[in-house]
Structure formats: C-alpha cells, structure tokens
Amino acid sequence: MRFYADANFPQSNIKRSFLHSMLPTDVSLQRADIDEIESVEDPLTCVRKFVHAATNKCVMYVLEIGDCLGSTVFSPIKADVTGNITKIKNVYETNPTKFKTLQLILEGEKEQYGTEWPNVGATLALMWLKRGLKFIQVMLQSIADGERDESNPNFIRVNATKAYELTLKKYHSWFVQRLFTVAVYAAPSKSDFMKALSKGREVKEEECVEKIRQFLVNFTVTIDAIYEMYTKMNAELDYKV
C-alpha cells in the first residue's frame, strides 16, 4: 500500500536511523517496546518519531502485528507497506538536505512532476502506506474496544472486516474485495492472535489488550496527522486497484 512545516502542521526530521534497521527484530508489545512510541508532551513529537525512528521501529511493530494475522490475510498489505517505505527512503536519499520532512518531499515532487503529481513517486507511496497502516490501526482499535461476533467471540474476523471496509475496500476493485473476503476466513482466533502478539507467552487477554491500547495512543495520532496533511495538500486520490 501504497508534512508542511507551518504553525499548524507537525515537522518531521528524517535522520540517519531512517536508513538503517529496516527489518523487524523483537518487536512484541512489551513494555520496553511501547515506551519507544508512547507520548512525550504532544503529537508533534510522535510524528517526528514516525519519520526518523518509527519508520523503522513503529512501522515494524505493525508488520510484526501483521505477521500474527497469518500470511494469507496480511502478506499483500505487508508487502505494500515495506515496498512503500523503501520508495520513500529512496527519494529521501537523493537529497537528504532538501527532503528533511515528508512535507518537503511532497512539495518537491509537486514542483518536479507538475500535472503528474500526486499520482507519482514518494507522494503516491506514502498515500498507500498510510492506508495500510490505517487498516492495522482500525483493526486493533476494534479489538481494544471489545467489538466481536457474539456467535463466534474468539474470532477476529469481524475486527479485520471492519478495518478493511473503513480503510481499503473503497480503493479496491470487486475482484480484490472478494479476495479479501475469502482470505479473512483464514485469520487466526483471537486467543492465538493474542498469544502471537505476546511472543508465545501465556498472557491474560486483558493485559494484552491494554498494551494494544497503549500502542495505539500515538500511532493513531500519527496516522491521523498524515491523513490531514494529504487533505490540506489536496494530494488524496480515490482510484481503484
């Protein structure tokens, strides 16, 4: 799947850590991991983390969470997320001084590509990246809110389906929508999902859900900020794939 530096929009420096450690390591939702992305004073700091540290840390938490969903459900989204991170990184590497923020990348590409923009380059990559991350955010929020199928309370199918319908479905053709409908039936049970998030440890569901809530605090703010940027820059596209 594929930031403006004024008083109303968060700045985000892309530091050297953005270029390294692009593969996940041990990123279960443990206390130490959550500390990496928890709030400091305000959402501006969270967005900075997303770009220079969270691009290789917070996003990789998300990819690890996706692995817990099983390859059938998440593999296409994971491939899109990692691919679009690479595209953004590659644009940054062409001129690190010029492209200090995501906003500057989008503005630079708007000037460079003219009428082709925003359907091009890192602008397009970030557009799809935020959608893939939004899917995970909505699904986790649904789980944290206790939403479930009362007839099958141990399934997370209802959570994944809600997330898909709210975030990705409108950008997919009928054929892709049908593929997701079939794939979601291969999603793990909630208990297996929670166990996978806890790296196989026996953890109470309430404890795991609380860690999910902690993870979501700044992650949600970050994704919302990127969506707001695309709206303000009129960079959002609604074509189907």
CB 86 within 8 A of CB 23: no
Question: Higher pLDDT residue, 45 or 221?
Answer: 221
Once rounded to an integer, what is the mean pLDDT over residues 133-153?
Answer: 92
Is residue 2 situated within a structural domain?
Answer: no
Once rounded to an integer, what is the mean pLDDT over residues 125-137?
Answer: 90
Condensed to tens digits (0 to 9), the pLDDT of residues 73-127 reads: 566 767 787 788 888 888 888 888 888 778 888 999 999 999 999 999 999 999 9
Is residue 237 situated within a structural domain?
Answer: no
Is residue 4 situated within a structural domain?
Answer: no
Is residue 20 situated within a structural domain?
Answer: yes
Residue 134: its pLDDT value, please? Answer: 92
Question: Higher pLDDT residue, 48 or 105?
Answer: 105
Q: Could you give the CA distance from residue 37 to residue 203 in angstroms, rounded to a whole number?
A: 22
Is residue 238 situated within a structural domain?
Answer: no
Pseudo-torsion of CA 89, 90, 93, 95, nearest 10°?
Answer: -110
Question: How much of the chain, in percent, has pLDDT values that exceed 70?
Answer: 68
The count of structural domains within the chain is: 1
Residue 2: its pLDDT value, please? Answer: 36
Residue 69 predicted with pLDDT over 50: yes
Residue 71 predicted with pLDDT over 50: yes
Residue 49: its pLDDT value, please? Answer: 47
Residue 5 predicted with pLDDT over 60: no
* Mean pLDDT across the chain: 74
Q: Give the residue numbers spanning the domain of 121.
A: 16-232
Q: Which residues pair with 189 in a beta bridge?
A: 155
Residue 48 predicted with pLDDT over 70: no
CB 52 within 8 A of CB 12: yes
Is residue 227 situated within a structural domain?
Answer: yes
Is residue 187 situated within a structural domain?
Answer: yes
Question: Higher pLDDT residue, 161 or 23?
Answer: 161
Is residue 239 situated within a structural domain?
Answer: no
Contacts of 126 (CB under 8 A, 6+ apart): 2, 84, 88, 102, 105, 106, 226
**Range picked from 48-62, 81-95, 224-238 for highest mean pLDDT:** 224-238
Q: Could you give the CA distance from residue 36 to residue 200 in angstroms, rounded to a whole number?
A: 22
Residue 6: its pLDDT value, please? Answer: 33
Residue 30: its pLDDT value, please? Answer: 45
Query: In 3-state terms, the chain is what percent helix, strand and coil (to 5)?
Result: 65, 0, 35
Q: What is the CATH number of the domain that holds 78?
A: 1.10.3520.10
Q: How confident is the model at residue 45 (pLDDT cuts 50, 70, 90)?
A: very low
Q: Could you give the CA distance from residue 145 to residue 159 in angstroms, rounded to a whole number?
A: 10
Of the listed ranges 7-11, 49-53, 148-152, 206-210, the one predicted with least confidence: 7-11
